[in-house]
């Protein structure tokens, strides 16, 4: 598939069409049943399955699980027991995703290791499935562009794709965004800060992997699978939130970060990123995974007439939420409500471009921290000749290496050093 290229101007145009808009539906008198499959049977994947069942109750529809897939088949089998899915519908190994996609599932939920997301979403779109996929969509620029091409194809096919940046489904955040970012209640946006700072996450001692299975079991420790847990696993929520409120992708990023206390894997402990969104708007983003430090997870935007944390101004003149949309207790359930609503209405809700944007912005900050240089959107997403080293920068082993059995073990504790060109 041809790689997608996403200019900032084209993103804004596309996002205007694909922005979160919860459609109104008419539910038939007979409960509708959706066939659902899961790829990636860890805690987040199983949580998403519970969430879509809860959403179905709110809508008066039914969910029937038809397949489970995971690198480790025993995990797929264990997850399937609760829903009565037979063993022959439980798949394992590096090609489990293909077997899941060959089933009669209407909706495929993807919550695997981050590096596999571009491959899985591309295959799911080709199979014509509606999709829920967790963030991020990729871990490097080629993965982001591959996912963009899949987004374009999913739009052409009229598929619904809901993504796991659940703050966009938080009731008060939707209303505050409408009041502040759409209706301009606080005037012009001047600047802001976002953060996701907390304690240590990951293994508490060296992993010393010997096999691909070892890497998959500890995938959140490894850049080739996770792509910086603090940044692409956590801070991406806040980066996405900033992009949503600004309404466009950042022009550039200048960042620093390093590894200070992690005992395992090959990741940094912290990042500090200055995003330039153009027109004088800068958003500072920071994240940290270190015990014993000050913690903060949140957003703070300064406007011409005041400030907001993104959820404390739910007073729009016109609510974008139709009155018959059920309000879930959790944004995790709400995102599944929105997915099912779009299918019942027959009006696709496609958020994949938004996830490409926020992922690419996070990757841009990551590469700036690694290299010690300013990194621009055009360099990683648009122009292959502007900075070929950044445009083509790809984590290894790749998803194809895992599928083909050509995985080479990463070196534990070895991280990029600022000032050394990215490879």
**What's the pLDDT score for residue 314?**
87
pLDDT tens figures, 327-365:
999 999 999 999 999 999 998 999 999 999 999 999 999
Asked if 249 contacts 360 with a C-beta cutoff of 8 angstroms, the reply is yes
pLDDT confidence band for 5 (50 / 70 / 90)? low
Residues 128 and 296: their CA atoms lie apart, in Å, by 40
- As assigned by CATH, the class of the 171-316+357-404 domain is alpha beta
Q: Is 153 helix (H, G, I), strand (E, B) or coil?
A: helix
**What's the pLDDT score for residue 3?**
56
pLDDT tens figures, 206-217:
999 999 999 999
Asked if 412 contacts 224 with a C-beta cutoff of 8 angstroms, the reply is no
Query: Among 264, 269, 202, 198, which residue's Cα sits nearest to residue 237?
Result: 198
Domain boundaries, the chain: 8-168+327-351, 171-316+357-404
Residue 12 confidence (pLDDT) above 60: no
Walk across the sheet containing 252-258 and list its strands.
306-308, 296-303, 189-198, 282-289, 270-276, 252-258, 375-376
* Residue 58, φ and ψ in degrees, nearest 5: -65, -30
pLDDT confidence band for 421 (50 / 70 / 90)? low
- Give the contacts of 194 (CB within 8 A, at least 6 positions apart): 235, 238, 239, 241, 242, 283, 284, 285, 286, 298, 299, 300
**What's the pLDDT score for residue 224?**
97
User: 0.95 exceeded by the pTM?
Assistant: no
Q: What is the token pair recorded at 40?
A: 């990636």
**What's the pLDDT score for residue 4?**
59
**What's the pLDDT score for residue 10?**
57
- Give the contacts of 1 (CB within 8 A, at least 6 positions apart): 122, 146, 149, 150, 153
pLDDT confidence band for 308 (50 / 70 / 90)? very high
Beta bridge partners of 276: 252, 282
Q: What is the token pair recorded at 76?
A: 């797929």
Residues 44 and 286: their CA atoms lie apart, in Å, by 24
Residue 289 burial (CB count, 10 A): 25
CATH topology for 8-168+327-351?
Answer: Rossmann fold (3.40.50)
Residue 378 confidence (pLDDT) above 70: yes
Residues 94 and 82: their CA atoms lie apart, in Å, by 24
Lowest mean pLDDT among 10-14, 49-53, 178-182, 293-297: 10-14
Residues 290 and 387: their CA atoms lie apart, in Å, by 33
Lowest mean pLDDT among 231-235, 323-327, 334-338: 323-327
Q: What percentage of the chain's residues is helix, strand, coil (to nearest 5)?
A: 40, 20, 40
pLDDT confidence band for 419 (50 / 70 / 90)? confident
Measured over the CA atoms of residue 337, residue 342, residue 343 and residue 344, the dihedral's sign is: positive
User: What average pLDDT score do residues 406-417 get?
Assistant: 95
């Amino acid at each position: 598939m041809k790689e997608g290229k996403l200019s900032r101007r084209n993103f804004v145009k596309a996002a205007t069409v694909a922005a979160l808009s919860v459609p109104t539906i008419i539910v038939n008198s007979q409960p509708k049943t959706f066939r659902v499959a899961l790829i990636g049977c860890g805690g987040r994947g199983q949580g998403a399955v519970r969430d879509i069942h809860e959403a179905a109750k709110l809508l008066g529809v039914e969910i029937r699980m038809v397949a489970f897939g995971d690198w480790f088949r025993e995990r797929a089998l264990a997850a399937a027991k609760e829903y009565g899915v037979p063993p022959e519908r439980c798949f394992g190994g590096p090609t489990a995703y293909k077997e899941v996609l060959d089933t009669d599932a209407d909706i495929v939920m993807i919550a695997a290791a981050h590096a596999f997301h571009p491959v899985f979403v591309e295959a799911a779109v080709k199979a014509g499935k509606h999709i829920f996929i967790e963030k991020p969509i990729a871990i490097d620029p080629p993965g982001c562009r591959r996912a963009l091409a899949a987004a374009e194809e999913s739009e052409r096919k009229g598929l619904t794709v809901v993504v796991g940046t659940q703050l966009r489904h938080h009731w008060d955040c939707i209303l505050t965004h409408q009041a502040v970012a759409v209706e301009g209640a606080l005037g012009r946006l001047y600047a802001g800060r976002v953060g996701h700072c907390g304690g240590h996450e990951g293994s508490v001692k060296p992993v010393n992997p010997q096999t691909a299975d070892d890497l998959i079991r500890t995938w959140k420790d490894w850049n080739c699978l996770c792509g910086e847990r603090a940044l692409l696993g956590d801070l991406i929520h806040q980066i996405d939130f900033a992009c949503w409120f600004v309404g466009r992708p950042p022009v550039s990023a200048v960042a620093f970060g390093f590894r200070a206390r992690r005992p395992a894997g090959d990741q940094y402990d912290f990042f500090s990123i200055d995003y330039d969104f153009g027109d004088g708007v800068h958003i500072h983003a920071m994240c940290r995974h270190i015990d014993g430090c000050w913690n903060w997870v949140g957003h703070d935007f300064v406007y011409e007439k005041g400030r907001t944390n993104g959820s404390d101004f739910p007073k729009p003149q016109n609510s974008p939420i139709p009155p018959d949309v059920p309000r879930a207790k959790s944004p995790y359930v709400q995102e599944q409500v929105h997915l099912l609503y779009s299918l019942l209405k027959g009006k696709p809700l496609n958020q994949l471009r938004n996830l490409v944007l926020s992922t690419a912005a996070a990757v841009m900050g990551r590469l700036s921290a690694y290299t010690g240089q300013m990194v621009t959107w055009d360099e990683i997403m648009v122009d292959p000749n502007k900075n070929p080293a950044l445009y083509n920068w790809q984590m290894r082993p790749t998803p194809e290496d895992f599928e083909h059995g050509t995985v080479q073990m990463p070196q534990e504790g070895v991280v990029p050093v600022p000032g050394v060109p990215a490879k």
